[in-house]
Amino acid sequence: MIRLARSLRARARVSADAGLSLIELLVAIALTTVVTGLAVSLFAIGTHSVSLAQSVDGGTRQASNGMNQLARMLRAATPDPLANPPVGTPQNDPAIISASAQAITFYAYVNLSGGEAPVKVTYQVVGGVLQEWQYAATTTTAGVNGHWDFATAATSTRALCNSIPASTAVFRYFNKVGTELLPATFTDATSRGAITSVQVTITIQPTGAASAVTLTNTIGMANIGAGS
């Protein structure tokens, strides 16, 4: 009986020392590889989803901030009185100086620095970036007939929105009855003076996103009056 017990214990030690068989080891390696691959794949998918969400969110915030700035300035667009207009002719230079599908320049009477002087402002898409240039009035008080002159070089510049697709139409123009006016028709002060509202469309293509972020807003110019 003692010999039998010793024999059984010896066999148990031999079995324990033997470890895993080759088949068991291969199965374990295969399972580990599958589990690791799934974990890496899930991590990559999760990281991409977070990155894409952040990109779309950033694009949305960019478009919203750019739209708010454009709307603020366009609502303040105001004609600049001519210095010495002949009797019976228009008394003002229209609020909008030049206009196209991707650029607009206009006068705006906004309180930017605590003073009453207006600014001339340009918005234009350059290399996929919507940029703003502001030109300060060159006098501290209005001239003859309330006329203002402006610096020829921009006094401040900044980028509002990035990643705007090429050839995107940002600006559309309408008269007081809602008829669209084409930029090709803006050949003189009278045609530019007919613009009473501007439709702004900001489209941003976030990195990695299949769809672009687009905001559209039609902005009326309340300060232009009947004689813009």
- Tokens 């501007």, residue? 198
Q: Which residues contact 120 (CB under 8 A, 6 or more apart)?
A: 97, 105, 106, 107, 108, 134, 135, 150
pTM above 0.75, yes or no: no
Greatest pairwise CA separation for the chain in angstroms: 134
User: Element (H or E) spanning 5, and its range?
Assistant: helix 2-18
Give the helix ranges, DSSP H, for 76-188. Answer: none
Q: What is the pLDDT along the chain (228 residues), one digit of tens a residue?
A: 555 455 555 555 555 555 567 777 777 788 888 788 787 777 666 665 655 556 556 667 888 888 999 999 999 998 988 888 888 888 888 999 999 999 999 999 876 555 567 899 999 999 989 999 999 888 766 666 788 889 999 999 999 988 788 778 899 999 999 999 999 999 999 999 999 999 999 988 766 566 778 889 999 998 875 444
In Å, what is the CA distance from 119 to each residue of 58, 105, 140, 169, 201? 30, 11, 12, 25, 23
